[in-house]
Amino acid sequence: MSSQPGTGNHFGQGGVSDDAVIPGGTLLASPDFDRTTFSTAPREGRGTARGHHGELLQGVFEWSGGLHRGLVTLPCPTMSTEVTVRITEGAPAWTVDPPWKTKALRAALATAGILGTGAAGGTVSVRSNIPSGFGMGSSTSDVTATIRAVLNAFGRDLPTSRIARIAVEAERAADPLMFDRMLLFAHREGMIIEDLHVRMPPMKVLGFVARPDPVETLAFTPARYSSWEIECFRALRGLLRRGAREGSVQALGRVATASARLNQRFLRVDRFASLLQVMADSGAAGIQVAHSGSVVGLVFDAADPDLARKTALASRGLLRVGISRTWEFCTEGDDEHLPDP
């Protein structure tokens, strides 16, 4: 079942969305109540969001009779952003630190506008370990953590689907980092194409970079798929559903590999044929890429009893291809991403 886009323009109304609501505080505590009764100290809010390691699948997909660009991201809990918002009463100006995080600033302004915070402004302080230009969702992570921090500061909630749309408005295209489950997400529209309703089965990922130069995500021209490629994404989507239903890393790995192969025409990964060979030789379930970035990952079933041997084999294989700098993470790590109470 897909969530309807564009329903509801105000938070807190019943039936806005069936999506999970971020428990950012109590709805009863209005900002006025908060300020006059409890504290004269400046109010603070905190929000966090994780990053991702590119996509399991990216392409065009049918939804409600039309075609939409969409993607499924691969969660990367070791990458995260933490945002602190300090409210300044009576001064409706917003600033961000570091100052070049302008998308986070836009997201803070948009969220404040939706909440109707009136005369209040604030400072947004962004701390992130996600490098930009690698296709790891650094800007969406900044934006999502910022929206959560502003909500937290004002003691308010918004449905996750609403947060997604604010993120898209703030940065033109956003990844579905605000959701905690697998979904096919229209990243340019902020809309769920298909909700798989399950968390991704735990995967071990051996990551590396595809090419030395970073990619500016928005400057990168969107892929112009052929008619055959557009229809081919249907086969990938079918296996995505089957893999999600069975929790099968093997099936999802094949989806990722196919998506990476289709993306070669648009953003090449160097030595791709050799990488496919390393995948086959090491028994990896698949290879996944950042479709508009530079990270690549060999994907393994984290529950595989033979995991250590396979990843060691893959590391040695990569070394032979000339890739010595690699990293490892598990998609089902400590990825608690809800704002701290």
Partner 1 sequence: MSTFRIREPFADAVESAVLPRLIRLSGGLYAAAFQLMKLLPAQFVLRRAMEQGLLTERTTVIETTSGTYGLGLAMVCRRLGLPLILVGDPAIESPLRRRLEDLGARVSIVSGQAVRTGGIQQARLDRVERIRQRHPDSFIPGQYDNPMHINAYGRVAELITESFPRLDALVCPVGSGSSSTGIAGFLRMVWPELILIGVDTTGSVLFGAPNGRRRLRGLGNGLLPQVLDHSLFDEVHWIPAKDAFATTRRLHTDHTLFMGPTSGASYHVARWWAERNPGATVLAVMPDEGHRYQRTVYHDAWLGREGFAGDEVAKEPLDIAHPGELGQVWSRYPWGRRTRAQVVEERATLDAR
Residues that bind partner 1 (CB under 8 A): 1, 196-198, 227-228, 230-239, 241-246, 248, 250-251, 254-255, 257-258, 261-262
Least distance from partner 1 to the Cβ atom of residue 19, Å:
15
Closer by beta carbon to partner 1, 147 or else 236: 236
Phi, psi of 100, rounded to the nearest 5 degrees: -80, 0
Residue 298: alpha-carbon gap to chain centroid: 19
- CB nearer to partner 1: give 262 or 318: 262
Nearer to partner 1, 183 or 215 (CB): 183
Least separation in angstroms between CB 297 and partner 1 = 18
Find the shortest distance in angstroms from Cβ 298 to partner 1.
17
Closest CB to partner 1 among residues 96, 203:
203
Min dist CB 79 to partner 1, Å, is 26
In the complex, what is the shortest distance from the CB of residue 235 to partner 1, in angstroms, rounded to a whole number?
Answer: 4
**Given phi > 0 = left and psi -120 to 50 = alpha, else beta, which region is 258?**
alpha
Choose between 60 and 178: whose C-beta lies nearer to partner 1.
60
